[in-house]
Amino acid sequence: MIRSYAELAAINHLGGAQLPSKAAVAAITEDLLHLLFPGFYDGDHLEGKELGPAITDLLGSLEKALIREIGKSLPKTGESAEAKVLAFLHRLPAVRAILKTDVEAVMTGDPAARNVEEILLAYPGVEAIAVQRMAHELHLLGVPLFPRMMTEWAHSRTGIDIHPGAVIGPSFFIDHGTGIVIGETTEIGKEVRIYHGVTLGARSVTGAQSLRGRKRHPTIEDRVTIYPGATILGGETVVGEGSTIGGGVFLAKSVPPHHLVFAEHAALKIMPKSERPQGSEYTI
């Protein structure tokens, strides 16, 4: 193993600056969720006069932990971790305001959702969106690495992969959610609804160095619905306002507003095993 460290130095990090701890990032992200949704997590039982001191204590411990871990992400020159953390914490009330619209979108759009308690405790899409919205604020503040670690923590819990660089408008509803991928330069308007298995990706990753920093992922305008298993690719691809993308669609070109896109799949046939066509590749 020691010899492999010398031979494969590219995947070592020995003697360099300390990196953020994955365990610490997970703990911080979970505490931030406690802060956004007080009373919805284990051990939370806050009322009236208790709320102020409890939130003050939580903010104090979060500030210290964020400064410590974000400081490991930043270059030694430039803006301090303290300034970025304070700016981030000041943005959290605005994040809560937009998350309220996301929760309302679930209540409006899903007849299975009975109340806010069920949505916040049992809908993985809301947790994934909440983490991404916080990570996006850190991304806008120029914090490297840490926001991506936050969204990957949410990905591991929910099966929903949203890059912190994606721009997402209010009233965003992820239904079910498993297998959703939303790339770094995706732009999503307001009142958009996405089902499980949807990919908003890049058309190509050939020559990744030249593509870095360019718009590679689609733009989804207001009030678009994207059904399960759809794949939409490309930085020049725009899905117009009010359009619907059907399940299983593979799309790499723009769609005008108020259009329906659906895939005409091959006809389904059900037959006895004895009538299977000769030479068929299918094993029954």
Q: pTM for this one?
A: 0.90
Mean pLDDT over the full length of the chain: 91
pLDDT the model gives residue 282: 47
C-beta of residue 25 within 8 angstroms of C-beta of residue 149: yes
Distance CA 16, CA 31 (A): 29
The parts of the chain modelled with pLDDT lower than 50 are 282-284
Take residue 156 and report the two structure tokens written for it: 């591991």
C-beta of residue 235 within 8 angstroms of C-beta of residue 185: yes
As a dihedral over the C-alpha atoms of residue 187, residue 189, residue 194, residue 200, rounded to 10 degrees, the angle is: -20
DSSP letters spanning 113-143: ---HHHHHHH-HHHHHHHHHHHHHHHHHTT-
Domains by residue range for the chain, with CATH: 15-159 (1.10.3130.10), 179-263 (2.160.10.10)
What residues contact 106, with CB distance under 8 A and at least 6 apart? 113, 119, 123, 125, 126, 173
Nearest to 62 by CA among 80, 88, 99, 94: 88
At 132-172, the pLDDT tens digits run 999 999 999 999 999 999 999 999 999 999 999 999 999 99
